[in-house]
Chains A and B, each alone.
Chain A
Amino acid sequence: MKNKSWLYLLVFAAMMAVVFYFYPQKLAPSMQSSLSSLGQFALILPAIILLMGIFTVLVTPEMIEKNFGDKSGFYGNLKAMFFGAMMSTGPFYLSFPMAKRLLSKGAKISAVIIFVSAWNGIGIIAEIVEIHYLGLNFMLTRLILNMLLIFISGYVAEYISNLNQ
């Protein structure tokens, strides 16, 4: 239901109207701070809109399934991370059915775990927003650590899941 979230906004606005009825002196500072962060968001909004569209059009699930392959090893896992980051414009819950299809087509567990984690944790659009809000140093440090650990976690997950077989 698409319209549901607009309903939430309406309910939220009503709730806030009640809050400001009791605390009218908080209205001005709240508005000021909200508007300034809305402005900051609006600055990169055009890029977000275009990138979401571009990735959805160019990076299709079929394309990834075709290129994912069942090749194991370092290179295959690197590719899985790259594909995950490319897909991250879509809602995260779409990563589960896709992971299932990849597994059934013979992809390694490590690659699929890396793919799902990268889809959720690393994304080109998300990283642009992260630089915008938290700065380049923060984003780079966190991204490099995150990528490294996601990569290792793929191997660990595969090792654990093979233990009791």
Chain B
Amino acid sequence: MKDFLFAAIVNGVVFIAWFILLIKNKSQGWQAIKIGFRTIFDMLPIILIIISLLGIVSSFVNPNQISNYLGDRSGIKGFLFISVISSFLQIPGIIAFPIAATLLKSGAAISTVAVFACASTMSSVLTLPLEIKYLGKKLPIIRIGLTYIICVIVGLLTGLILHLL
């Protein structure tokens, strides 16, 4: 129910914003819709793969196993494992958060989910060569190092704060 309410409000507000854009500038309004659909169409196969995979994995994997490896009982090991794994590939937020939610539902610790959400969206070791091509060696390496530190801190503190709340 809460999901429906939130979605209804967000959809309503965004639709009004789009409608205002359409009134102010007709061609920009229609262009926005076209670009939006094209972008989501390009992402849709990956989104469908991830969503199906999440369903399949959660029907094969016992939640107890996940919480053993990634839950509070796993201590720092599960947290560090996820922090390193999720640093390798950049995943867009709209795909990363459904994965994060599945992890959380399956019993992963909050801090582990937070470090996943942070590192998977922010850092990408695999595309470091591309970043270096544009910005030289120094800045991307400094940035990726700092990003890892940021995500570890964000993960640990998010877990701590939400435990206290």
Give residues in A with beta carbon < 8 Å to B.
Answer: 2, 5-6, 8-9, 12, 16, 19, 23, 26, 29-35, 37-38, 40-41, 43-54, 56-58, 88-89, 91-93, 96-97, 99-100, 103, 109, 112-113, 116-117, 120-121, 123, 125-134, 137-138, 141-142, 145-146, 149-150, 153, 156-157, 160-161
A30 touches B130 (CB 8 A): no
List B contacts of A32 (CB < 8 A): 55
List A contacts of B34 (CB < 8 A): 53
From A99, A116, A123, B93 is in contact (CB under 8 Å) with A123
B37-72: which have CB < 8 Å to A?
A: 37, 39-40, 42-43, 45-49, 51-56, 58-60
B150 touches A133 (CB 8 A): no
Rounded to whole angstroms, the CA-CA distance of A160 and B138 in the bound complex is 9
Rounded to whole angstroms, the CA-CA distance of A129 and B10 in the bound complex is 10
List A contacts of B135 (CB < 8 A): 96, 99-100, 103
Give residues in B with beta carbon < 8 Å to A.
Answer: 3-4, 6-7, 10-11, 13-15, 17-18, 21, 28, 31-37, 39-40, 42-43, 45-49, 51-56, 58-60, 90, 92-94, 96-98, 100-102, 104, 110, 113-114, 117-118, 121-124, 127, 130-131, 133-135, 138-139, 142-143, 146-147, 149-150, 153-154, 157-158, 161-162, 165
A109 touches B139 (CB 8 A): yes
B32 touches A26 (CB 8 A): no
Closest to B131 in A: A96
Chain A binding surface, main DSSP class? helix
B36 touches A51 (CB 8 A): yes
Rounded to whole angstroms, the CA-CA distance of A137 and B110 in the bound complex is 12
Rounded to whole angstroms, the CA-CA distance of A50 and B124 in the bound complex is 27
